[in-house]
Amino acid sequence: MRRLARRLRRGEVNLLKHKSMELLKQRILTEGKCFEGGILKVDSFINHQMDPVLMGEIAAEFVRRFAGSGTNKILTIEASGIAPAIMTGYLMRLPVVFAKKKRPSTMENMLSTTVYSYTKNRNYDVCVCGDYLRPGDNVLFIDDFLANGNAAKGILDLVQQAGARLTGMGFIIEKAFQHGRDALAAYGIHIESLAIVESLDHCTIRLK
C-alpha cells in the first residue's frame, strides 16, 4: 500500500483508472436505488455499508486526478464524505478534517456556515475549528455526492473564512441533472467526479 501510494503521488500508476471506475459505475447500476425527488441511494457500498476495497480505488483515482495540485489538507463533511476523504488522505499522506454538522459546545475558534440540504429539505449549520483550517492551507474537498452544490458552497465559505485556498473538489458521484457543477463554475474550481448520473427519470439510472 505504501509503495502504491508513492507511485500514485508520482503519477506512475494509471492502470487503475479505467478498471476501478468502471467497477464503481457497475456497482451504481446494479446496486443503486432511486427515490422520489432524484435521490440515489448507494447504501450497500458507500452510504451505509462500505466497501473499503472500492473506496481505496476511489481514493487512488482522486490522488491521480489531483496530483500536482499542491494540496496540504483534505476537507470533507460528516458523515458519508469521511470514508473517501480518509482513504485519500492516507494515500496522499495528508491530514483530513471533517466539518461537523452539530456545533460542539466546547469548540473554540469556530468557523461556521449554513447549508441547505436538498435530501432533508432543511438548513443546517456546518462548522470547523479554525485551528485545523488555517491561512495558507491548500485544501482539497472530497465528498460522496455533488447534487445542487450547496454543501460545496458552504465548504468554499469555510475555506474563505479561514483565509485558506481551495485546490479542488472531488466527488464520487455527480448528479448532473441537479447542476451543482454549473452553480460552482463562477468560482473557477477544479471539479472531478468519478461517476456522473445524467438522469434518474422513471427510476432508471442513466450514467454518462
Summarize as ranges the residues that interact with ligand 5GP (CB under 6 A): 39-41, 47, 77, 80, 118-119, 143-152, 175, 180
User: Measured from the CB of residue 163, what is the shortest distance to ligand 5GP in angstroms?
Assistant: 24
User: Measured from the CB of residue 23, what is the shortest distance to ligand 5GP in angstroms?
Assistant: 19
Nearer to ligand 5GP by Cβ, of 133 and 146: the residue is 146
Nearer to ligand 5GP by Cβ, of 77 and 97: the residue is 77
User: Measured from the CB of residue 17, what is the shortest distance to ligand 5GP in angstroms?
Assistant: 24
H or E element at residue 138: strand 138-146
- How many CB atoms lie under 10 A from the CB of residue 56? 19
Nearer to ligand 5GP by Cβ, of 92 and 115: the residue is 115
- How many CB atoms lie under 10 A from the CB of residue 172? 27
| 8 Å CB contact between 84 and 104 | no
CA pseudo-torsion sign 110, 114, 183, 28: positive
| 8 Å CB contact between 128 and 159 | no
Nearer to ligand 5GP by Cβ, of 5 and 125: the residue is 125
User: Measured from the CB of residue 31, what is the shortest distance to ligand 5GP in angstroms?
Assistant: 12
β-bridge mates for residue 13, sequence order: none
d(CA 125, CA 99): 10
User: Measured from the CB of residue 79, what is the shortest distance to ligand 5GP in angstroms?
Assistant: 8
| 8 Å CB contact between 142 and 170 | yes
Write the Ramachandran bin of 168: left for phi over 0, alpha for psi from -120 to 50, otherwise beta: left
d(CA 77, CA 144): 9
User: Measured from the CB of residue 140, what is the shortest distance to ligand 5GP in angstroms?
Assistant: 15
Nearer to ligand 5GP by Cβ, of 93 and 208: the residue is 208
Nearer to ligand 5GP by Cβ, of 41 and 65: the residue is 41
